[in-house]
Amino acid sequence: MKAAAKSATASAPSTSANLGSGFDVFGLALDAFADRVTVTRTGRRGVTVAADGGVPADARRNTAGIVALEAVRRYVKRGGLGVRVSKGVPVGFGLGSSAASAAAAAVAIDRLLGLGLSPSGLVELAGVGERASTSSVHYDNVAASVLGGFVIVRTGPLDIVKMPPPADMECSVAIPEVAVPAKKTAASRKLVPDKVGLKNATANVGNAAAMAAGFARRDTALIGSAMADSIAEPARRRTIPGLESVRGRAIRAGALGVAISGAGPSVIAVGNANTDMDAVGRAMKRGFASVGVRSRVVRCRPTPRGAARL
C-alpha cells in the first residue's frame, strides 16, 4: 500500500488584477514572480506557519495560513497542518502577493489531502485566504494565480472564464519604491466610489467588452486599447505619485496600454512583438523619477500556467 504523502509543495504566479477596465473582474497571471508553499501534516490540531519575506507567521493573519485553517476545519479529522511560505512576489505592490500564497497553499493542500478539488473549488478555497487578508470578496488575483492565463471572474455564483494570453503579449511592470501602508488594498478599495455615473459605467462596459474580445482574438493591440478605466483609476490616481507621467511616457514610447496593477502602486504596460518593451520600461522609470520616486521595472510575459505542485 502506498504511504500517504507527508508534505506537498506548490508554486503560484504573480498576477495583475483589473487591467484597467475590469475592476474585480479581470486577472492576468504573470511569469514575473512566484510564491512557493509547502504543507505538512502535523499531530496537533490547528495550523502553524513559517514564512519569510516579512509576512505574518500568525496563521490567522497569513493568507496561506487562513487557507490551511479553513482546510483543517473542512477536511481534516485529526491533527493539523504546518505551512511554510517562501515569498517571491513583492508584498503590497499590486502584484497579487497574498493571492499567490493562497493559491499555492490551496493547490498544495489539495494534493496533500488528496481532495481532488475542481479548478473552481481550488479558486474558492484560495479565495477564503484572499478574502480574509483584504477584508473583501474579490477573486480576480486568486483565480488568475490558481488557473493561469487571463481570467474573467463573475461572482454570485462564482464563475470563471479562463482564456490563454496572446503569444506575442509582453508586459513591463514598474514597481515604485514607496512606503506601502498597512492594509493598503482595503484602504485603496475605500476610495473606489459605490455609485458610478452612467457615462463612466458605459465607458467601462465598452472597454471591458473589447478586452474580452481582444483575448478571444489574441489581439494584443485591442487588449491594450481596452485598458482605460473611468471608475477605479480616477479615484485611486492620487495614491500613486507620477501615475499620469508614467502612463503618458509609456504610451509615447510605444506601449499599447497602461493601467494600475491591481490596487497599485505598481503600474503595468502592455505591448506586442512590435513594441520596444525595454524603451517602455525606461520611459516608465523616467515617469516615476520625474516626481522624485525611484522604481524598478520588470519585463515579463503573461503565463498560461497557474499554481502547480512541484
| Nearest CB to ligand HSE, comparing residues 144 and 221 | 144
- What distance in Å separates the CA atoms of residue 66 and residue 69, rounded to the nearest whole number? 5
Using CB under 6 A, which of the segments 34-42, 68-76, 183-191, 218-226 binds ligand HSE? 183-191
Site size toward ligand HSE, by CB under 6 A: 13
Answer whether 30's CB lies under 8 Å from 301's CB: yes
> Would you list the DSSP string of 166-207?
PTT-EEEEEEE--PPPTTHHHHHHHTS-SS--HHHHHHHHHH
Q: Which of 184, 189, 247, 285 binds ligand HSE (CB under 6 A)?
A: 189
| Span of 77-85, 101-109, 182-190, 216-224 interacting with ligand HSE by CB under 6 A | 182-190
Residue 141 engages ligand HSE in binding (rule: CB under 6 A): yes
Query: Is residue 253 a contact residue for ligand HSE (CB under 6 A)?
Result: no
Cα–Cα nearest to 145, from 306, 266, 30: 306
Nearer to ligand HSE, 23 or 288 (CB): 23
- If one asks whether residue 134 binds ligand HSE (CB under 6 A), the answer comes out as yes
What is the C-alpha separation between 278 and 257, in angstroms, rounded? 15
Task: Pick the binder of ligand HSE from 11, 14, 16, 18 (CB under 6 A).
Answer: 18
Q: Which pairs count as long-range contacts for 272-275, CB under 8 Å and 24+ apart, including other chains?
A: 272/166, 272/168, 272/169, 272/170, 272/220, 272/221, 272/224, 273/168, 273/170, 275/170
Residue from 80, 129, 176, 262 touching ligand HSE (CB under 6 A): that is: 262
Q: How far is the CB of 33 from ligand HSE (least distance, A)?
A: 15
Spatial separation of the C-alpha atoms in residues 213 and 197, rounded to whole Å: 24
Residue 233 touching ligand HSE (CB under 6 A): no
Minimum Å gap between C-beta 43 and ligand HSE is 35
Nearer to ligand HSE, 24 or 219 (CB): 24
Nearest approach in angstroms of CB 184 to ligand HSE is 9
Q: Which residue has cell 479553513? A: 70
Q: How far is the CB of 262 from ligand HSE (least distance, A)?
A: 4
Q: Residue 276: which residues within 8 A CB-CB, separation 6 or more?
A: 253, 254
Q: Which of 17, 146, 174, 300 binds ligand HSE (CB under 6 A)?
A: 17
| 185 scored as a contact of ligand HSE (CB under 6 A) | yes
Rounded Cα–Cα distance for residues 2 and 304 (Å)? 33
**Looking at the DSSP assignment, which residues form a beta bridge with residue 300?**
171
Picking from 191, 195, 289, 177, the residue whose alpha carbon sits closest to that of residue 242 is 289
Would you say 102 or 280 has its CB closer to ligand HSE? 102
Residue 300 binds ligand HSE, judged by CB under 6 A? no
Q: Site for ligand HSE (CB under 6 A): which residue of 35, 70, 110, 140?
A: 140
Q: Which grid cell sits at 246?
A: 508614467
Q: Given the rule CB under 6 A, which residues bind ligand HSE?
A: 17-18, 23-24, 134, 138, 140-141, 185, 188-189, 262-263
